[in-house]
Chains A and B, each alone.
Chain A
Amino acid sequence: MHEIADAFVIAIKMIFTGDPEVYAITARTLEISISSTLIGALLFIPLGCLIYFNNFWGKRTLISIIQTCYSLPTVFVGLLVFLAFSRAGPLGFFGIMFTPQVMVIGQVVLIAPIITGLTISALSGVSPAIRETAVSLGATRFQAVWLVLKEARYAVLTAILVGFGRAISEVGLAIMVGGNIRGFTRVLTTAMALETQMGNIELSMALGIILIVLALIITVLANKFVKGKEADAAQSRAPTA
């Protein structure tokens, strides 16, 4: 117990004295996870809409498959991305193996089912009457879908946050395709794994604390952003002269 408490205290000191390596790893982690979350959101929220608002054969099966993929093992995705992007793989000519780029691609693949699936759930939580009301007031198909998405904003935000949580916390994929290269592809989770094995418990603890605090800050900010938008919308009545 003592050891953990000591490690904790040293970790806090490390964070506040500004260990340059800790900060570099943190910045790289955020860069990669935020990129993959944004790309994932831009690609897969629209895909979720497309699936939800269209009727086609096999729709329910497709949704079941997507939901099953929520818990896709990160090492499995890592393996697939590794096979695709390694020199001999079909996408090997990109030559991006063991770079942050390929880590972003891997994370996008990893969170694709989560963002798509949770977007579909978010949209099914909105009464069909909302879309119909929009249409009856003259909305185009796109305008109506946009309104439903806005109605589902909290749940869609949750989809993005869950995706981000999975991206920032995964370790298997980051090691397999990133390689944990110091100063290049080393992120909080891979650094923690390595430092713990090397016995640097304090450093590992510091990295862990940062990881949790980051997740907390981003969740709070995202919630604020959505609520703020709402307040803006209410106040934007006054015409802008």
Chain B
Amino acid sequence: MLLRVERLQHSYCKAEILKNIDLGVERGEVFIIIGPTGSGKTTLLRLIGLLEKPTSGDIHFDGNRVSDSEEQRLAVRRRMAMVSQKPTVFNASVYDNVAYGLRIRKEKGASLHGKVMNALETVGLAGYDKRNARTLSGGETQRVALARAMVIQPELLLLDEPTANLDPVSTSHIEKLVTDVIKKSEMTVLMSTHDMYQGQRLADRMGVIMAGEMLQTGDPRDVFNLPQNRKLAEFVGVENIISGAVVSNKEGIVDIKVDGAVVEALSSLSAGAAVYACIRPEEITLAKTREPSSARNTFSGEITRVVLFGPLARIELNCGFPLVALITRKSAEEMNLQTENRLYASFKATGVHVIAK
């Protein structure tokens, strides 16, 4: 394990920013910390990047505990590099910016030149070497910052919301760098983002941080589909979170009573448990008539709102309880869906994720 964080706690004045964080990052993986703005992502990365000292808790790098000794902190810091959300470039040429980390490591001559030119090529800024870095656009600046960090071949690359302030084209450019280049060079990446979908696209593993607490870590698919509590479910984009209670459990299939209807789902919880039934909107199919199907849950409802966006349509229904379905725009148009239409909404018992209250 390259990085291990144990019981990390940090406060500014009296405000507790991070609470008891445990985290492990394996060599060579892309680990993404995901969480809403203000959840403590930046603070966590700054502590791991040894830019600040935690109030309490330990950071282990490559098997060694990082102590308070400035000498040791510098030695560890030299094995990592950090790119911040709002990258700062030095008032110098793009070339000198990228060369900085190498120069302070006493690298010079042809080897320095080769590495810098190579890094500029990699981030797509070949030919920009003479430009003053202060004259670049936001996306270009972020790429200079990435090149400047990557060129020193850090064992651990820390990226703090590298795409938070960028347009979609620049964002996909940066994402491509992370997936193609950094993975190939076997760097370990610890990145933060508030964008759940970006986390999905890039992460080998992810951790969700909310209000200073690491609530869930694991495979992105698990985090996405099996959130452990209501807050997480909301954050990962589960729009249908229906409150109810288990009325029966027959061999792992539960009936959950919600606002006058019964939802079938898979769960180990027994009768009487108060739960939330979570259904991702894309798991729901809509039909004009009630047709026989394998889906265990079918409800009749009235359309309250239709929102078209891009290739998708978001349909809000009232089935006694509110339900949101996500279908393609084409389907919505072919079925001629309008508000006040009555419809049947179906989803499988396996499409329901049950969270105990």
Contact = CB atoms under 8 A, between A and B. Distances in A.
Contacts of A18: none
Contact of B129 (A140, A141, A143, A237): A237
A127 B84 CA distance: 14
Given A234-B96, A237-B113, A237-B129, A138 B88 contact: no
A90 interface: no
Given A139-B104, A143-B104, A233-B96, A240 B109 contact: yes
A129 B86 contact: yes
Contacts of A135: 51, 77
Interface string B71-107: 0001001100110101110111101100011001100
A137 interface: yes
Interface string A32-75: 00000000000000000000000000000000000000000000
B88 A137 contact: no
A239 interface: yes
B33 interface: no
A11 B177 CA distance: 69
B90 A151 contact: yes
A238 B130 contact: no
Contacts of B82: 136-137
Nearest to B113: A239
A150 B129 CA distance: 19
A129 B88 contact: yes
A137 B49 CA distance: 10
Nearest to A230: B92
Contacts, number: 76
Contact of A138 (B81, B93, B116, B132): B81
Contacts of A235: 130
B134 to A, nearest CB: 11
A137 B152 contact: yes
A127 B88 contact: yes
Nearest to A131: B88
B148 interface: yes
Contact of B152 (A127, A133, A138, A234): A138
Contacts of A134: 100, 104
A121 to B, nearest CB: 17
A137 B101 contact: yes
Interface in A185-241: 230, 233-235, 237-241
B149 interface: yes
Contacts of B166: none
A24 to B, nearest CB: 43
Interface in A134-173: 134-141, 143, 147, 150-151
Contacts of B74: 138, 140
A129 B145 CA distance: 13
B81 A129 contact: no
A175 to B, nearest CB: 43
Contact of A238 (B86, B93, B113): B113
A132 interface: yes
A130 interface: yes
B216 to A, nearest CB: 28
B112 interface: yes
A135 B74 CA distance: 9
Contacts of A127: 88
B77 A136 contact: yes
A143 B148 CA distance: 16
Nearest to A135: B51
A136 B80 CA distance: 8
B68 to A, nearest CB: 15
Nearest to B87: A133
Contacts of A133: 84, 87-88, 90
Given A127-B88, A136-B82, 13 more contacts: A132-B84, A137-B82, A137-B100, A137-B149, A137-B152, A139-B104, A141-B70, A151-B91, A234-B92, A235-B130, A237-B116, A237-B129, A237-B130
17 contacts: A127-B88, A129-B86, A129-B88, A136-B84, A136-B158, A137-B100, A137-B104, A137-B149, A138-B81, A138-B101, A141-B70, A233-B96, A234-B92, A237-B93, A237-B116, A239-B109, A240-B109
Shortest Cβ-Cβ A-B pairs, 9 listed: A138-B78, A136-B82, A129-B88, A137-B101, A234-B93, A239-B113, A239-B110, A133-B88, A237-B95
